[in-house]
Structure formats: C-alpha cells, structure tokens
Structure 1
C-alpha cells in the first residue's frame, strides 16, 4: 500500500516517514514491522506497529498539547466505560519532516462494523446503548464542552444551521434537497432544556470495533468527547442500526421525542456536510453519509 493521499492543506504521510519517526525516537520498537491501516478516516493516518501497537499521526496541523490532552482524557475515561478505548503509550516529538506531535497507541482488536453485514445487530444495539448509558453516568470535575465552538445555549443546533443549509444547496441533484431542508428545519425547531451529559459525540461505524460475533469490543476517537446535548450520541440509530432496531436503541436510552428529533437532525447535518466535502475524495465516508441521509429522510416527519 502506498502513502496516505492528502487532501488540500493536509500533511503528506507515508511509511518511510513513519518508520524514521519511530526508529529515531523509540528505538525499542525499531525492529517491529510497520504497515499502513486503511481506516477511511479523514483526520489521522494510522499505522500498525508490530502486533500490539499503532502509530497515529494527524493529517492536519495539531494545536499545542493536543496529544497530551488526549492521553489524559483517555486515561480518565477508561475506568468508566464497558468496552476498550484507545490508550496512548507514548508521544512523539515534532521534527522537520513532521511538524507536530504524534502518538503510539495500544492496538485494539476488532473490525469496523459493515452496514450491510452486521452479524448480531440486536446485540450490537444493546452494546451501543450500554456504552452511551455508561458515558452519561460519568461525573468528573473536569467538564470540557464536546464542541468548544458550539454556543452553550438552549438552542445549540443554531450554530450548525448555516453550514447545513449550505451543504443542502451544494448537494442539489444528488439528494432530495426539499425533504432534507424540511427534516432539518423540524430538528432545528425541536426544544432543548439545556441538560448536558458526557457524550462521545462521534459514534460513527468508523469509530467502532466489533468482534467476529458482531458485538462491540472498542470505541475509538474521543477527540470531541465532553459535556453536551444527549442527542449527540444517537448517531448509531441512523448511521448503523437497521430500522427495525431503532426503537430498541431509543427505548434502552429512554429518549424523548424532542431529543430524538434533535439527534436525527445532528445526524443529517453531519452527513450532509461530510457528503458535500467527501463525495469526490473519500468514498468510504461518502457512502456512510449517503446511507445516513437516506435513513433520516425515510423517517416520517
């Protein structure tokens, strides 16, 4: 497999670069084989390092101390959660070849769930609800917002409105834009009482690992986890689970009507924006987005 193909403004990362970084900064792992991992992600390049480790490098310019903050957050959250989550084993320093911190993680076993090939969808729905419930029960003194840029108001989705409408306009001819706009406006109008809980906020199939038996074994990518609207963690209902299990997932989490509609809107907004920007560059992300949009628009208003 060749180098990870960057988009505009992304870092060009390939196996020789990662090999040089590992060998020069962590010589204890220099003898371990290294190979790129196809993850479908758009934020990080992932390389497997031997049987038990992985190397993670941001495709974008990370801010100062981002990796250290990630290490602290993951270590703090892990004891509260029912499945494995990433653990940062080491942090690499910036170099002239790669001007940013990077990290070595413990390798987590499992595969990403395939939308059309779920082995145990009912069990997976139960596992995901259990994970979300556990996240909601977390009570820690450090309470970061899930999306720092999202206004902390009783209408937090307002900050998503402009980008969502722009995406709808940009997808004319690819989706039913009239239905998308009607669905989005219903979600935008759904009431919110301001109650916040700990949320992962990005429960996409690409951020889950399942066993050969189809059960959830790990959840990945906690970069945007923090306090937020409980509707943020309803993504699996439209991105992954079959329609006939959506009600089971909702009932297990005791989701009221307004939260369910907001959750649906968050999924639609994210999927529209992803499709607009990834339809020509990232087929895996674009296909997931198309699936979510179809599922949302098939839901009666």
Structure 2
C-alpha cells in the first residue's frame, strides 16, 4: 500500500509494540496507534478468525470508523456482534474476506493487487476477490478500465452490501457503467436486483461464478454450505433475478468483454489507460 502512495501510519500486534525492523511503527494497542498518528481513516484487519471480533471492537472503540477485514472464516456470531457495534457507531465494515477499496492509479486501501487494474470508467463491486483481479485484467485488455473497485467481502454475512455502493456509483461522475462480481453463497444479488430495477439508470453487468455447481457443494471461498438451485444464494437464482432487473449477465468470464462491448457500443465508456501511462499521470 505504501508503494501505491497510501499513508500506512501504524501497525498493531499484541506483544510486538516498539519492535524494530519496519518503517511502520508498531504498537500493542489500537488506542496507542491513534494517540501516535491522530485520526486514522481505516483499519485493515489480518488477524486469525477468532481474533477478528476483538480487533474490530478495539478499532471502533478507538474512533476508527472504517474497517476492512481481510480474514476469512470468521465465526458468524462474532461478525453479528461486530456489525451490531458498527451500526451503533456509524462504522462501515468491509468483509470478512475483503480486499478493500482501489481507485486505480490513485488510492489503495487494502490488499488488491494493483498491477491487474487500470484507470477507466467501469465501477466494480465484488463479493469474490478470487475472481476480481482476473475479471479486471480481462476487461482492461479489452479497453475497459475501472473507476473504483470495492470488495464487499466473500462470506455469507458481510458488513456492507451492494445497495449503498450502487447508489454511490450511480451518482459518481467518473463511473459510466457498473459490474457486479460474485459467487454462490456470498453477496445478496437478489436484493441488489430490486434496487437496480428501481434506482439505477446506468448500464449494469454481472458475472457470477458457480452456475455449474452440483445441488449441494461446499464452496472453499465461503466456508458454509451452498445449495445450488434451492434458494436465493444459488448462482442460477441470482442471475435470474438480475436479468429480470435489466442487468446484462455473462454466462462465463470469457464472454464478459464481448457483452460489455455490445451494450456500450452506442455509448462507449472511457477506455482503459495503459499501466505505464497511468503511472505517469498519477505522479
């Protein structure tokens, strides 16, 4: 993140406060980090799943109102408790299983791999970080860069949903089209479809993995049972709801650039800026 220009002001690890060997000062407690650095915009949480609740509550108690939880496999009841506290303190939680936020060429708050992304006008909202980089790279090669990439989290219970970010991107002058990236068992694309049908006027595309999952399958990226075709968490039902809302859905990743190109051909969005040119323009 520091190489991308993000100000990483402190790290927290119990028992490692004051440790040498890093350009980032390390503290035992979040409140010590805040006392040292002042206001902190976001806490990026990498701890073990059973420590996420304590880490999140400590960050909120210290006045940090944006949390990005990169850890997967957090106990569901812990996430519920954390989200209740976040709701009462006006705190935004990305994740679990979130890579954070990326504005290509400008801002990196999280663990996205920026070499796969290019500046452009396509906003990506993702509930599957395993797919996001590949999708962005494929579209970038076709000439469609990204205005912003928001990782909502890859697990069934997540801190933020599609709807508020769809509203943000609908109003964003730098975003001319929106792409949803998801998978079976995570994200609520059915609720997103209702919102898109009533409140989104920009073109919306979707690629959801898992269409060929058997009726019962454990998804390794989301540690819970998914039942393909049995409920709203199945990819088939999600795609059906999105299609009814006017979303342009790709049956597989390879078809996505073609579908985007066909829909936007009469109103093309801003082309992607090559990586070397983007680096020059951000200096």
Fold shared, TM-score > 0.5 on shorter chain: no
Name whichever structure is richer in helix by fraction: 1
Name whichever structure is richer in strand by fraction: 2
Q: TM-score, normalised by structure 1?
A: 0.27
Q: Relative contact order (C-alpha < 8 Å, sep 6+): which is higher?
A: 1
Q: TM-score, normalised by structure 2?
A: 0.29
